[in-house]
């Protein structure tokens, strides 16, 4: 595809990591023409070691890519150092994810969230430039003096405040919906999990919807809710934004209002792509737990959906779930959102859990009354 920009990728020497970085790059419109790996990407000066950085510099001169993609979140100084050495633009993992979100954001809320995340990203880098300029390590701030730099910060701060206010309004709107649902007494089930685990495919299977699904990362960037029937009762089902590893906390923050649904959900279906290697599954599971913990979802409200079992076997799925220590919970089910395997069973499980816990709650309330 001709509108793809050419990139050199710097990443870790681990197959799954390389694969993910390439698919992130692809989703942001870059094609990788060369991959450089190193075991350590968080060294202080350039992220990579000096020798490796020199190698990359030569490579850049030789193959003339448009950018270097660096598969870690770089500090502004590291990014500046590497860019100056190689004389090329650096897109770190954070920037890359922002670029994908920017391309995909379609709802007002997600657009505001992206804009906010971008301003924070720019602000951190501008601060660093000012610091370097003051330390005499870098000439002026975009050729501007201290006064102009202050004006620039003030301007960003104002824009952040305006966006936050807008986002607040969206949150209020969402909260109103939530209150209405709560008043209607409808339990909510949220689908959560790493990007591409198959959340939306399962959402479509359960609701009969036709929301976009794709093999590419971050297909879904906003939450949808639909009502379904479980055990003869009406239940609301939520699809959410996918998770990814190595994300700075403020990115989770930017999506907090969307992911807030997790806090309010009666149950969270944690969707795992069980067809992947155990290492891959384990690392994605860890990243997912990090996010889920941010939203204070207790373990007892989690159901583990071992999705894409059509690409492997139920035995293999249970074996992997066992290695993750999930079997004791008894809330584990291999399913295929694609072939519908065990989807009815999943509905039964969720229905039982919801309405049994509801019953237990009612009984407890009656006891207390
Ligand atoms: N073989 C197989 N493929 C599946 C299954 N479920 C989903 N997929 C595929 O996995 C890819 C990702 O599916 P999505 O439903 O878009 O994943 P998601 O979790 O919503 O991803 P994000 O929205 O990016 O967070 C798509 O290509 C789906 O067709 C399954 O049960 N079996
Ligand atoms: Mg999705």
| pLDDT single digits (tens) 29-76 | 999 999 999 999 999 899 999 999 999 999 999 999 999 999 999 988
For the CA of 307, the nearest atom of ligand 1: 31
pLDDT at residue 139 in the model? 54
For the CA of 341, the nearest atom of ligand 1: 31
Q: How many CB atoms lie within 10 A of CB 44?
A: 9
Q: How many CA atoms lie within 13 A of 50 on its CB side?
A: 1
pLDDT at residue 179 in the model? 83
Tell the residue nearest (CA) to atom 32 of ligand 1: 308
How does strand 89-92 pair with strand 302-307?
Answer: unpaired
Ligand 1 binding pocket includes 19 (Cβ within 6 Å):
no
- Tell me: pLDDT of 300 over 80: yes
Nearest ligand, CA of residue 218? 1
Tell the residue nearest (CA) to atom 11 of ligand 1: 215
Nearest ligand, CA of residue 192? 1
Tell the residue nearest (CA) to atom 13 of ligand 1: 198
pLDDT at residue 56 in the model? 97
Q: Find all residues with CB under 8 Å of 344, minimum gap 6, and list them.
A: none
pLDDT at residue 138 in the model? 58
**273 Cα: distance to centroid of ligand 1 (angstroms):** 8
Mean pLDDT of 129-155: 70
Ligand 1 binding pocket includes 311 (Cβ within 6 Å):
yes
**269 Cα: distance to centroid of ligand 1 (angstroms):** 15
For the CA of 195, the nearest atom of ligand 1: 25
Cα–Cα distance, 13 to 261 (Å, whole number): 36
pLDDT at residue 144 in the model? 56
pLDDT at residue 133 in the model? 72
Ligand 1 binding pocket includes 200 (Cβ within 6 Å):
yes
- Tell me: pLDDT of 141 over 60: no
Residue 143 pLDDT grade (very low, low, confident, very high; cuts 50, 70, 90) = low
Ligand 1 binding pocket includes 210 (Cβ within 6 Å):
no
Mean pLDDT of 76-84: 91
CATH of 5-101, one of 3.40.50.1820, 3.40.50.300, 3.30.70.1560, 3.40.50.11060: 3.40.50.11060
Ligand 1 binding pocket includes 334 (Cβ within 6 Å):
no
pLDDT at residue 151 in the model? 82
For the CA of 203, the nearest atom of ligand 1: 15
**303 Cα: distance to centroid of ligand 2 (angstroms):** 18
| Nearest alpha carbon to residue 56 among 12, 10, 90 | 10
pLDDT at residue 258 in the model? 74
Tell the residue nearest (CA) to atom 12 of ligand 1: 196
pLDDT at residue 303 in the model? 97
Any idea which fold 185-368 has? Rossmann fold (3.40.50)
pLDDT at residue 357 in the model? 61
Look up residue 261 and give its two tokens. Answer: 């649904």
**75 Cα: distance to centroid of ligand 2 (angstroms):** 30
The percentage of residues in the chain with a pLDDT greater than 70, rounded to a whole number, is 93
pLDDT at residue 2 in the model? 59
Tell the residue nearest (CA) to atom 9 of ligand 1: 198
Q: Find all residues with CB under 8 Å of 95, minimum gap 6, and list them.
A: 121
Residue 180 pLDDT grade (very low, low, confident, very high; cuts 50, 70, 90) = confident
Mean pLDDT of the chain: 89
**What would the pLDDT profile of 226-267 be if each residue is shown by its tens digit?**
999 998 899 999 999 898 888 776 677 777 777 888 888 999
**363 Cα: distance to centroid of ligand 2 (angstroms):** 37
**What would the pLDDT profile of 302-314 be if each residue is shown by its tens digit?**
999 999 999 999 9
Tell the residue nearest (CA) to atom 6 of ligand 1: 198
- Tell me: pLDDT of 366 over 80: no
Choosing from 196, 202, 273 the residue with most ligand 1 atoms within 8 A of its CB, the one to mutate for a pocket test is 196
């Amino acid at each position: 595809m001709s509108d793809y920009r050419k990139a050199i990728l710097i990443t870790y020497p681990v197959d799954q990591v390389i694969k993910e970085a390439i698919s992130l790059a692809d989703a942001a419109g870059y094609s990788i023409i060369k991959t450089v790996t190193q075991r350590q990407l968080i060294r202080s000066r350039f992220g990579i070691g000096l020798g490796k950085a020199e190698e990359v510099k030569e490579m850049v001169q030789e193959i003339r890519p448009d950018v270097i993609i660096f598969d870690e979140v770089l500090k502004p100084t590291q990014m500046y150092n590497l860019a100056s050495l190689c004389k090329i633009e650096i897109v770190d993992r954070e920037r890359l994810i922002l670029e994908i979100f920017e391309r995909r954001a379609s709802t007002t809320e997600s657009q505001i969230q992206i804009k906010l995340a971008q301003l924070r990203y720019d602000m951190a880098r501008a601060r660093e430039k000012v610091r370097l300029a003051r330390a005499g390590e870098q000439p002026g701030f975009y050729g501007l003096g201290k006064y102009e730099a202050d004006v620039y910060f003030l301007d960003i701060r104002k824009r952040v405040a305006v966006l936050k206010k807008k986002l607040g309004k969206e949150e209020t709107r969402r909260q109103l919906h939530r209150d209405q649902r709560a008043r209607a007494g409808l339990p909510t089930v949220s689908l959560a999990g790493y990007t591409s685990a198959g959340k939306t495919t399962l959402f479509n299977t359960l609701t009969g919807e036709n929301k976009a699904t794709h093999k590419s990362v971050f297909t879904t960037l906003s939450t949808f809710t639909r009502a379904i029937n479980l055990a003869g009762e009406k239940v609301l089902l939520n699809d959410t934004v996918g998770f990814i590893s190595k994300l700075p906390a403020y990115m989770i923050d930017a999506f907090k209002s969307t992911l807030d649904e997790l806090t309010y959900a009666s149950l969270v279906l944690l969707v795992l792509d069980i067809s992947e290697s155990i290492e891959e599954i384990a690392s994605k599971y860890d990243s997912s737990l990090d996010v889920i913990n941010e939203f204070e979802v207790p373990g007892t409200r989690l159901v583990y959906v071992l999705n894409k079992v059509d690409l492997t076997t139920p035995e293999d799925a249970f074996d992997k779930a066992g290695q993750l220590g999930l079997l004791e919970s008894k809330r584990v089910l291999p399913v295929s959102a694609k072939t519908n395997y065990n989807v009815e069973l999943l509905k039964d499980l969720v229905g039982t859990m919801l309405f049994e816990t509801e019953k237990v709650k009612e009984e407890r309330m009656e006891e207390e009354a």
